[in-house]
């Protein structure tokens, strides 16, 4: 497995996207944000991205997979391979219980697949020597987190196996968006036990305020420390 070359540019999850409709949360409809301009201003024009990692396929994680051009949804990152979980994709494209996912698949997932930009991967896929996926199922059937390890340092991008630091202290608290709350709890307990006391920097995808820290034991529970 080759190491990630210094010029490689990887995006993990793409948030809500512009111009999307039929979202369950009204304020997420027809957004007009400066996301792409901000990305370019930071030195990362969309054409330079070569990999998009989808931790799962919920609406707020795949929106910028595509953009509206002349009335058609096209891949936002035209030179990127989009990594989607094989289990995750199979689940959402076969289920009939979540009507809200129909629009998400239609405008943010299927167009990328039809453009030939998708690579289906397993939940333990290794992207390169430094970056690999970690199975953290429960929030969705194929949910993954992203581990980064380089030069003796390590970090973990959580995705949604936990949404708020309060779940570090109370892993039994589940989000209403969890597909399998019991499995999601077991995943949190397993991950927190493994992370506690290590040097792994935890990067909370949905954390507000302090978004990074280290998991430490706090009596019989855990907490996030700087």
The confidence score (pLDDT) of residue 3 equals 63
> Is pTM beyond 0.85 here?
yes
Which residue ranges in the chain fall short of pLDDT 70? 1-3, 5
Distance CA 17, CA 69 (A): 13
Distance CA 39, CA 148 (A): 21
User: Looking up tokens 């330079």, which residue turns up?
Assistant: 48
Give the tokens for residue 46. Answer: 């969309």
- Look up tokens 């907490």; give the residue: 223
pLDDT at 106: 96
Partners of 131 in the beta sheet?
Answer: 148
Q: Is 120 left (phi over 0), alpha (psi -120 to 50) or beta?
A: beta
Q: What confidence score (pLDDT) does residue 189 get?
A: 97
For 5, the 3-state DSSP assignment is coil
Q: Can you give the pLDDT at residue 86?
A: 98
| Residue 4, pLDDT score | 73
- Looking at the chain, which runs of residues are DSSP E strands? 10-12, 51-53, 66-69, 72-75, 81-85, 118-121, 131-135, 144-150, 153-157, 201-203, 212-218, 221-225
CA distances from 132 to 85, 96, 148, 169, 192 (A): 13, 31, 7, 26, 18
């Amino acid at each position: 497995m080759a190491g990630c070359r210094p010029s490689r540019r990887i995006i993990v999850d793409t948030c809500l996207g512009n111009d999307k409709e039929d979202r369950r949360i009204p304020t997420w409809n027809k957004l007009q944000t400066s996301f792409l301009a901000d990305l370019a201003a930071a030195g990362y024009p969309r054409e330079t991205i070569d990999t998009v990692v989808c931790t799962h396929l919920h609406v707020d994680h795949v929106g910028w997979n595509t953009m509206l051009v002349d009335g058609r949804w096209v891949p936002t990152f035209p030179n990127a391979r989009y990594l989607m979980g094989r289990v995750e994709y199979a689940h959402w494209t076969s289920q009939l219980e979540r009507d809200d996912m129909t629009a998400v698949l239609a405008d943010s997932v299927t167009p990328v697949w039809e453009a030939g930009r998708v690579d289906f991967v397993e939940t333990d896929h290794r992207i390169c020597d430094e970056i690999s996926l970690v199975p953290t199922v429960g929030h969705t059937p194929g949910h993954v987190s992203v581990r980064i390890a380089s030069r003796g340092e390590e970090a973990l991008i959580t995705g949604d196996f936990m949404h708020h630091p309060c779940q570090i202290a109370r892993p039994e608290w589940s989000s209403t968006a969890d597909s399998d709350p019991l499995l999601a709890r077991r995943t949190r307990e397993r991950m927190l036990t493994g992370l506690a006391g290590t040097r792994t920097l935890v990067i909370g995808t949905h954390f507000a305020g302090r978004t990074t820290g280290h998991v430490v034991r706090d009596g019989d529970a855990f907490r996030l420390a700087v």
